[in-house]
Chains A and B, each alone.
Chain A
């Protein structure tokens, strides 16, 4: 059963096998097995409460920062079991970054926000400066903030803040970026910018994005996973899943006839 030590094939960023997440009195995720491909955007869709957030949080060991959740099963990251007792969760999270639904900038300057992870790694200042700029460019927000790097990040607009958060996550050069409804609090223009950013980023890294918008999944992802009541109902190429869903449940959801 245990896949520990088994090398993940090329092109697979994360190999999830028989993943269960349980709360005290109930099972939130049941027997999830999926390969998250490298250098692609995987959308995670499904009705509210089906376990999307819990799923992506279990991919970088954020689940255990919430009291009362237990994880069972295997998540392999480039051949390494991230739930192995010898693995430090802190190091996992440095490589598998996360962006939340609502912008969560720290109450410090724009520059220091993006530099946060680099400072944790005690990077030299010139390297930090370079990475901050590079990350802001990659997150598609450099032009808007390049003259305001010393401004408190909290004084920016919601859309700008969210892209600062993306830049902050990118600055430590994660190989995988987990995003929980990253555009849920953004206007259409900002949403478009973030989506464009994702497409560009997916040339280099693997992205897993939870979204409530079927349209966004169709636009911005190449693979889609459909979760329903804590189970993975179907996953595959976005095009296929939307046009020729194999499961009735999936079809009902993607055609909006969900009831």
Chain B
């Protein structure tokens, strides 16, 4: 109407929901709800998660004392000490192997490998990441337990865990390095830097937060695995004193104790306490990842524009 008043001689522009009809209107209205769909999906997903954490905590916390952490399980009593020790040693070996091999392989495919080799490497990494953990367990059992005549050892468990974790470290390293803006590489090479100098001085510091995230992610996944370790590290309730002995570990406690008959209820409690502890550790790792990446992101602000 005002349009007419301004002498443009046109109809009033259609700006309100009421002024359009049919499909256009339905679409416009639907668009307004889209931002709420994601939070809704979040709630649907997160509810069971919180429910589970609450359920585990409810069973674990009332009996959780310092002794749970420091005492060794004997018969139906004691704590998680030998399992915590075993898990720490296993994850340390696994992380060392996965970080070493995964990062080296990532550096290689991202910077040095001819294209077909890099493509093959990435494919191999994806396949390895997709191999079910239990298959790795059998593989480790035949190779590191039977073939080597070692029997069940912490070392074998750590190695298999390392193989399990490697593709995650490898993939994030490769991805982080290849997503460094190519202009950074150009600029470094134009300064007369050799590829290795570019990698170490420019690309790696840029990629580091992502690589660290990948390592912590691999650790969190490794901490949650039972199958590959059960077949290689066996089980032993006494705290290990060397790498060539079998060991107990936190996920093993959940796996072995959860199915026991109710008469052995104390062990069931230990299973819940082990689960509770694992949840705490994994949450802790996530918090560390978050804090680190926030700090690094601030440092790199403006680079990825």
Contacts and interface: CB of A to CB of B under 8 A. Distances in A.
Nearest to B189: A65
A98 B184 contact: no
A119 B198 CA distance: 12
Contacts of A245: none
Among B186, B192, B205, B301, the one with the most A-chain Cβ atoms within 10 Å of its Cβ is: B192
Contacts, number: 67
A97 B191 contact: yes
A153 B202 CA distance: 14
B114 to A, nearest CB: 10
B90 to A, nearest CB: 36
Interface string A143-165: 00000000010110000000001
Given A107-B205, A120-B191, A172-B192, A154 B183 contact: no
A205 B97 CA distance: 51
Interface residues of B, number: 23
B299 A152 contact: yes
Q: What 5 A-B pairs come out closest when comparing CB atoms?
A: A94-B192, A104-B187, A98-B190, A154-B302, A93-B192
13 contacts: A60-B190, A65-B186, A65-B189, A92-B192, A106-B184, A107-B206, A116-B188, A119-B201, A120-B197, A154-B302, A154-B303, A155-B302, A165-B187
A117 B197 CA distance: 11
A62 interface: yes
Contacts of B192: 90-94, 117, 120, 172
B23 interface: no
Interface of B: 115, 183-194, 197, 201-202, 205-206, 299-303
Nearest to A90: B192
Contacts of A94: 191-192
A93 B303 contact: no
A120 B197 CA distance: 8
Interface of A: 60, 62, 65, 67, 90-94, 97-98, 100, 102, 104, 106-108, 116-117, 119-120, 152, 154-155, 165, 168-169, 172
Nearest to B296: A107
Among B115, B193, B300, the one with the most A-chain Cβ atoms within 10 Å of its Cβ is: B193
A169 B191 contact: yes
Nearest to B183: A104
B302 A120 contact: no
B189 A62 contact: yes
A89 B188 CA distance: 13
A65 B198 CA distance: 13
B186 A100 contact: yes
Contact of B303 (A60, A107, A117): A107
Nearest to A99: B190
A126 to B, nearest CB: 21
Nearest to A101: B183
Among A67, A90, A91, A172, the one with the most B-chain Cβ atoms within 10 Å of its Cβ is: A90
